[in-house]
Structures are given as C-alpha cells and as structure tokens.
Copies of this chain bind each other. A is one copy, B any other.
C-alpha cells in the first residue's frame, strides 16, 4: 500500500487543509520501462496553487479526487527499465506521496555534482534553474547592473541574490520581517527592504536612489509597481511569479505602469520548463558556485508526509526561508 495526498476540493482563494486528503491505495504493477521509487524528499511550490484551479494553463490542472503531483527525489526500489537499478537516486514528478510507480523516461538520475540529494529539488533543481535563467536570459542581467529581487528570502529569490552577487551585480532584496531581512543581508545583498515595515515604493526608492536595471519579480502587485516607479532606462523585468495574486481574484492595480514607455522597460514572463534543453549549462555554472560557497543552499524542512499540506500552505504565510521541502 502507498499513501498519496489527493485534491479533495478546489480551493476558493487561500487553500486550507480541508482541500487535501491523504489516501491509501495499491500501487500499479511495475511494467516494462517503469520503476518504483520510494520518495525521500518532496517539493512544495507556489506554482502548484495554480494547478488547483480548474483552468487551462501551462500545466494541466490537478484532477479532483486524484493524487497531487510535484517534484520529488527518491530511491529506486524496483526497476524494469534499462539504466535504472535499485538504490539509484532519482528526480521525478511523482511527489505528494511516499511511493510512486513512474515511467523511466520521466525520471532523471541525479547527476554526480557532489551535492546533497535534496538540492536537486532546490538550488540545483527547478528553483535554482528558475533563478539562473530568469536572471541571465529573461532579464538579460549583466555585470554592473542594479538588480531588485522580491521575496528574496524565498526559494528562488535567495538564489537570485547570490547568483547576482557572484556575477558582479548590485543587489537589493525585499523580504517581510526583520529575520528574513537579516537572512537576505547574510546572502550578500547590498540593500534589503522590509515590505512589511512601510510601503515598498518608498523603501525601494530610498534603497535605489539611482534606480534599478533589473527586476526579478516573484511577487507582482505593489512590488511590481514599485519596480516600475524606479526603473532606469531600458530596465528589464523577469516576471517569474506573482504570489500576491495566486489566491485572490482582485485585479492588479499599477500606478506606474505608464513608465514602461518613457523608460523603454521590457517585461518578460518566463517558465523554467522552457529551459530544459539548457540544464547542462545551468549545472556547469551552478555546481562550482555551490562548491566554492558563493551560492549556499538554504532549506526549510518539514518532516513527514502527513505535513505536506501544512508545508504547502506555509508558502503563502511566508513560513519558509529558502526552499520549502518535505522529508519522508
């Protein structure tokens, strides 16, 4: 028997524990080309909130009464697929459960980069790749740029801060509360603004008297508006996430949108999935930075499968510093 979290009901606004149900079920047989994986680490991510709505998006919605999915790292316990044997550590999308039977072609063996397994769900996984490709590709950030990153204590944001510093940029990070701000400062950010302390447009203007060249947006809403207000000519915004809007239906209200014209600002939405063909480039860049300590991996770990929904809900209450993970 395996246990998996199912979507019991679709959230209306902010999700609650009632939307989730942990159910036991028999695993399907391990057919040719399949492997059975015992999960060790599960990823919970803000984007999963979008999949809980019944709307078409870049990934299909979760189905009611079906198991949830998500990134996971586990150990192969049974294999009928060439190239995989019991004991292999693998990355796959059969998360939110303790054991999964998955087709080998949807599984990646952890590359040998001298890293911890759970880092492939974080700084060496989707999280780190989001930071890397958002910064260098979507925002075309380069040495000398002044970079503003929101949710800088979060999984993606904390990697953006460190990557940007490692690449010779000036970094301003935003976070909520003194502890998180201290953490962002410890990552090397040149300036940190506490968006809970006063309106972000005021604190950002003070922190960036010369304006910003790049904005890495994890938040949307008033953060995006503040970035528009202080953007320098030809600023580039990488639009990665808008967590402010995931649980609410209010439209985004932008007072400074019109500056996009006078300052020739570029806004570029992006999805990390598009960069799969460039993962080797990412590993090449990131592995040495991790090894040298220029980029540090920080995780908030919640233990036990039973706590997966609580870990997920915590993302929207700002309970994580760095990557939020569930350890089985």
For A270, the closest partner residue in chain B by CB is B264
Residue in A245, A252, A253, A259 with the greatest tally of chain B CB atoms within 10 Å: A252
For A260, the closest partner residue in chain B by CB is B269
For A225, the closest partner residue in chain B by CB is B251
Q: Mark A249-266, 1 if CB is under 8 A from B, else 0.
A: 001111101111111111
Whether B264 and A257, one on each chain, are in contact in the complex, defined by CB atoms closer than 8 angstroms, is no
A141 to B268, CA, bound (A): 16
For A55, the closest partner residue in chain B by CB is B262
Question: Which of A204-251 touch B at CB < 8 Å?
Answer: 220, 225, 239-242, 245, 251
Cβ-neighbour of A254 out of B241, B252, B265 (below 8 A): B252
Whether A267 and B260, one on each chain, are in contact in the complex, defined by CB atoms closer than 8 angstroms, is yes
Q: What is the CB-to-nearest-CB distance from A260 to chain B, in angstroms, rounded to a whole number? A: 4
- Say whether A113 faces chain B, with CB atoms less than 8 Å apart: no
Q: Kindly list chain B residues whose C-beta atoms are within 8 Å of the C-beta of A270.
A: 261, 264
Residue in A259, A260, A271 with the greatest tally of chain B CB atoms within 10 Å: A260
Whether B267 and A262, one on each chain, are in contact in the complex, defined by CB atoms closer than 8 angstroms, is no
CB-CB under 8 A for A220 and B268, given A251-B253, A252-B253, A253-B251: no
- Say whether A57 faces chain B, with CB atoms less than 8 Å apart: yes
A241 to B260, CA, bound (A): 10
A269 to B261, CA, bound (A): 4
Whether B264 and A274, one on each chain, are in contact in the complex, defined by CB atoms closer than 8 angstroms, is yes
Cβ-neighbour of A251 out of B241, B255, B265 (below 8 A): B255
Q: Mark A51-84, 1 if CB is under 8 A from B, else 0.
A: 0000001100000000000000000000000000
A255 to B267, CA, bound (A): 17
Q: Kindly list chain B residues whose C-beta atoms are within 8 Å of the C-beta of A257.
A: 220, 242, 245, 251-252, 254
Whether B263 and A266, one on each chain, are in contact in the complex, defined by CB atoms closer than 8 angstroms, is no
Question: Which of A22-53 touch B at CB < 8 Å?
Answer: 50
Whether A258 and B58, one on each chain, are in contact in the complex, defined by CB atoms closer than 8 angstroms, is no
Cβ-neighbour of A258 out of B242, B253, B254, B266 (below 8 A): B242
A19 to B271, CA, bound (A): 49
For A253, the closest partner residue in chain B by CB is B251
Q: What is the CB-to-nearest-CB distance from A152 to chain B, in angstroms, rounded to a whole number? A: 19
Q: What is the CB-to-nearest-CB distance from A228 to chain B, in angstroms, rounded to a whole number? A: 10
Cβ-neighbour of A262 out of B57, B251, B252 (below 8 A): B57
A274 to B263, CA, bound (A): 11
CB-CB under 8 A for A240 and B255, given A266-B267, A266-B269: no
Q: Kindly list chain B residues whose C-beta atoms are within 8 Å of the C-beta of A267.
A: 260, 265-268
Whether A271 and B261, one on each chain, are in contact in the complex, defined by CB atoms closer than 8 angstroms, is yes
Q: What is the CB-to-nearest-CB distance from A62 to chain B, in angstroms, rounded to a whole number? A: 16
Q: Identify the 8 closest CB pairs spanning chains A and B, nearest first.
A: A260-B269, A251-B255, A267-B267, A261-B269, A251-B253, A58-B262, A252-B257, A252-B254
> What are 14 A-B pairs with beta-carbon distances under 8 A?
A58-B263, A242-B261, A251-B257, A252-B254, A252-B255, A252-B257, A254-B254, A254-B257, A261-B271, A262-B269, A264-B269, A265-B269, A266-B266, A267-B267
